[in-house]
């Protein structure tokens, strides 16, 4: 496989954008790519109508992520298509940064371009087909990594002022990433420490190093500090809701069985195996340049962040793809067979796992139409399934805990700060006109919540269903209401 990489950065960017569009075009307009990004869009949309994250709509993600989706919602096109187009731009931008970073590692142009293309291919293989949070913050982190890879050259020339400015930019990018998800704190800390090390190597005196450390740390925490201040100014109750959602609740989540964790790790490792093999080859290849040390240290910090939460869903590995691709790039440039094998395996997996997967979007849009037609201006309730149904049905939300897994599934029991089963009872005591649930859960049921729901559903009848994740999404209508198509 021969690749003729463009020499112009602009042409390179346009090429990567075209590849990103080609890989993601099939899902444009699909409202149910992944349950997470559905909820981000719902919260972002409702923020424009006055909803306050963690108070009116509960979740654990930083408010910066919801602000991205709220800003996207301002675009004059359908919100679902809008976030997918913006996510495509972010993915292409990150791929461009991967190519630039690979060149800093000494990769040939062909290897650097192959690494950038591989990044785009592997995103959808790890549930990054749409707008998962790493699709956005990987751009900030990879941009900061690219700046960090400049440090050996800057230090060798004694350019202390350039290192100071470089650190300002890198830590500001890390701060944006942290307000998109908190785990990039680890990578951000590494970038800051690397800048301090090279500032010292460039001849920086200790007072300058101390001042730089304080400045860079302040920039890294500034976005989060601004958000904390904004919530604190709304009163102690609002700030307490923010603090619990962002920093306390994650430690209250129930763990998954060891066998499930093991299988997730094995599956993720298998999918990343072409990168892992190249990384092993790169590790054994000499010489070890400063840039190579920095790249492996970046990967190490990303691995720490990956392990922090412990659930090991496949999309948690999305932040590993960029550093792995950068490290693999010199190997891909030197060994054409490795390049062909990596891209060939990636495209084969993409064809088998993405292109052959039936789209469930039309079915969910039909469910939303049934919800809207039969709700009569009242709030329907999605007990288990897709939160995007509220958005598609132009419906009010009957609970702040609108992400269905919060109230419906066992891993979240006791982690939301409320009695989840009592919240389900409160919702059902108001007799919502329409209830939506799944025939097969996506995680073990919260048995207390399920028992309340099954009892309440005696007053409802199933009126519509659509395929979803190997089972069915089922729409129940209150028995005293006529069914409207």
Q: What are phi and psi of 419, to 5 degrees?
A: -85, 105
**Nearest by Cα to 97 from 199, 159, 170:** 170
10-residue mean pLDDT profile of the chain (485 residues): values are 73 97 97 97 98 98 98 97 98 98 96 98 97 98 98 97 98 98 98 98 97 98 98 98 96 87 94 96 92 98 93 94 98 94 96 91 97 97 98 98 95 95 98 97 95 98 96 97 93
pLDDT of residue 3: 53
In this structure, the number of other CB atoms found within 10 A of the CB of residue 252 comes to: 13
CA geometry: angle at 423 spanning 419 and 424, to 5°? 120
pLDDT of residue 311: 85
pLDDT of residue 429: 98
Reduced 3-state DSSP string for 439-478: CCCCCCECHHHHHHHHHHHHHEEEEEEEEECCEEEEEEEE
pLDDT of residue 87: 98
With beta carbons less than 8 A apart as the criterion, state whether 37 and 82 touch: no
Q: Please compute, for residue 127, the number of CA atoms within 13 A of its CA located in the half-sphere on the CB side.
A: 18
pLDDT of residue 95: 98
pTM exceeds 0.85, yes or no: yes
pLDDT of residue 9: 87
pLDDT of residue 1: 45
């Amino acid at each position: 496989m021969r690749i003729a990489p463009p020499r112009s950065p602009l042409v390179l960017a346009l090429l990567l954008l075209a590849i990103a569009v080609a890989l993601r075009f099939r899902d444009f307009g699909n409202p149910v790519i992944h349950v997470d990004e559905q909820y981000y869009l719902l919260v972002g949309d409702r923020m424009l109508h006055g909803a306050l994250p963690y108070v009116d709509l509960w979740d654990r993600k930083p408010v910066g992520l919801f602000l991205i989706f709220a800003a996207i919602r301002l675009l004059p096109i359908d919100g679902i298509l809008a976030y997918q187009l913006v996510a495509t731009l972010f993915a292409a931008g990150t791929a461009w940064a991967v190519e630039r970073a690979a060149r800093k590692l000494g990769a040939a142009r062909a290897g650097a371009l192959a690494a950038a293309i591989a990044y785009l291919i592997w995103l959808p293989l790890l549930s990054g087909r749409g707008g998962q949070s790493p699709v956005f913050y990987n751009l900030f982190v990879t941009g900061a990594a690219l700046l960090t890879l400049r440090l050996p050259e800057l230090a060798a020339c004694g350019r202390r002022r350039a290192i100071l400015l470089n650190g300002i930019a890198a830590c500001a990018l890390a701060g944006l990433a942290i307000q998109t998800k908190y785990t990039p704190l680890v990578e951000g800390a590494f970038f800051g420490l690397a800048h301090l090390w090279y500032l010292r190597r460039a001849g920086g005196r200790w007072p300058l190093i101390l001042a730089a450390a304080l400045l860079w740390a302040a920039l890294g925490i500034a976005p989060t500090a601004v958000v904390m201040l904004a919530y604190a100014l709304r009163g102690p109750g609002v700030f307490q809701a923010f603090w619990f959602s962002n920093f306390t609740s994650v430690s209250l989540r129930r763990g998954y069985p060891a066998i499930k964790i093991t299988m997730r790790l094995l599956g993720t490792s298998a999918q990343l195996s072409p990168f892992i093999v190249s990384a092993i080859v790169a590790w054994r290849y000499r010489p070890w340049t400063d840039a190579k040390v920095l790249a492996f240290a970046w990967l190490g910090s990303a691995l720490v962040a990956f392990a922090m939460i412990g659930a090991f869903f496949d999309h948690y590995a999305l932040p590993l793809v960029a550093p792995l691709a950068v490290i693999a790039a010199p190997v891909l440039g030197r060994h054409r067979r490795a390049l062909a094998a990596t891209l060939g395996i990636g495209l084969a997996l993409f064809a088998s796992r993405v292109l052959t997967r039936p789209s469930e979007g039309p079915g969910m849009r039909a469910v939303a139409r049934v919800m809207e037609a039969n709700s009569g201006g009242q709030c329907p309730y999605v007990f288990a399934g897709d939160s995007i149904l509220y958005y598609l049905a132009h419906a009010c939300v009957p609970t702040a805990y609108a992400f269905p897994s919060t109230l419906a599934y066992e891993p979240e029991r006791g982690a939301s700060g409320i009695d989840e089963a009592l919240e389900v009872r409160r919702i059902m005591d108001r007799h919502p006109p329409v209830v939506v649930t799944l025939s097969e859960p996506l995680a073990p049921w919260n048995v207390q919540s399920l028992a309340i729901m099954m009892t309440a559903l005696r007053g409802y009848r199933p009126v519509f269903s659509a395929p979803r994740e190997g089972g069915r999404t089922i729409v129940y209508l209150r028995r005293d209401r006529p069914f409207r198509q």
